[in-house]
Amino acid sequence: MDLNSTNASPVLTEPAPINKSRLGIHSSLLPFSQSGAPFSSGILIPRKKPGKLDDVRSNGWLDAMKSSSPPQKKLLKDFNVEVASDDSDVAYYSWMLKHPSALSSFQQIMNHARNKKIVMFLDYDGTLSPIVNDPDRAFMSDEMRSTVRNLANYIPTVIISGRSLDKVYELVGLTDLYYAGSHGMDIMFPVRDSAFAVPSNCIKSTDQLGKEANLFQPAREFLPMINEVFRILVEKTKDIKGAKVENHKFCASVHYRNVDEKNWPTIAQCVLDILKGYPLLQINHGRKVLEVRPVINWDKGKAVEFLLESLELNNREDVLPIYVGDDRTDEDAFKVFREGNRGYGILVSSIPKETKAKFSLKDPSEVQRFLKCLVRWKEKNELRKSINNRSLEFGDLFR
């Protein structure tokens, strides 16, 4: 990805022509035509996508909500598998033939990693922390934290999450990592003295340790809009029992995990009605969550490419990126690896799911085992290298 070419770049290299993007966002970031009626705040709005249905029953939202984190039986039915009592295991194991366990394929993955630099991308919720009812209590275990810390000693490690950058940093609490929040719309990366051309719309900031860092925020102009919508969402959903709205800076999440299923149409219709006033915002379906985000052409896949580029590790034969995630938003990163025939996507799922990931892991405890194996493999390699170096030095004594 050439970050400064106007075609591929998400980044403005010159001031945007005013009639193209009053938001200051390059047209390559907007997925469809921008000729439309002026927005009340003076922002030019894109023409609405044709054929969008205005009712949650007819536009597929309700179906998507029901199938997010579905009970096993329902999902197996979706996979056309006859479900009778224990058949779920059979279905899972036959799915694993297509997406083998990253644990049992560990040696195969490491064979491929030989003489390559691994870069690890880790999603947070459902990958490092188990899915729980209260998003404020989705903590990773101390053991997982120390595993990730050990990993980062050997391998550049990025945490990439739908949560805000600050929140995910607070939850992970490790300094030697890279972080991307708001589904990759808020990226902090180190300042380097190198050939990497820092995109012109990056801002200088400081990281958690007070060190100079770059911030890349391709949806920065949407900040007031997201804040406004967040406040409206909170207000309009306050009487729906169990509903919870989170502000993740460049996106807002409306949780319905704790809402009675009979009220799902109400919460969905409420979000849809609010979004009718904001054509520059769209909805993504996560795990029992509706995520409101800008319509810019940016996702976790683009963020992964951006981060690799900024670490000067993109499109290199000697680099093996690995991405572990559990969510639909992680599919964008899996797709980048699969289509580019580089790197490995690992889906965390205990049920069969349609995915672009090559491998699978059942749950966060398997993720931890996989990361531990990687640390051990790295430790052994380092030891081997230092023994080799020492025997070379020893050999020098006799030369």
> Looking at beta carbons only, is 286 or 301 nearer to ligand L263DTV3?
286
> Looking at beta carbons only, is 26 or 248 nearer to ligand L263DTV3?
248
> Looking at beta carbons only, is 123 or 221 nearer to ligand L263DTV3?
123
* Closest distance of CB 55 from ligand L263DTV3, Å: 24
> Looking at beta carbons only, is 161 or 237 nearer to ligand L263DTV3?
161
- β-strands 212-216, 186-190 pairing: antiparallel
* Closest distance of CB 45 from ligand L263DTV3, Å: 25
* Closest distance of CB 146 from ligand L263DTV3, Å: 20
- Asked if residue 57 lies in contact with residue 265, where contact means CB atoms within 8 angstroms, the answer is yes
* Closest distance of CB 248 from ligand L263DTV3, Å: 6
| Footprint on this chain of ligand L263DTV3 (rule: CB under 6 A) | 123-126, 131-133, 135, 138, 161-163, 246, 248, 253, 255, 257, 286-289, 291, 327, 329
* Closest distance of CB 70 from ligand L263DTV3, Å: 13
> Looking at beta carbons only, is 161 or 314 nearer to ligand L263DTV3?
161
Distances (CA, A) of 376 to 31, 266, 380: 44, 50, 6
* Closest distance of CB 130 from ligand L263DTV3, Å: 7
Q: Which residue is nearest to ligand L263DTV3 (CB)?
A: 162
Greatest alpha-carbon pair distance for the chain in Å reads 83
> Looking at beta carbons only, is 114 or 241 nearer to ligand L263DTV3?
241
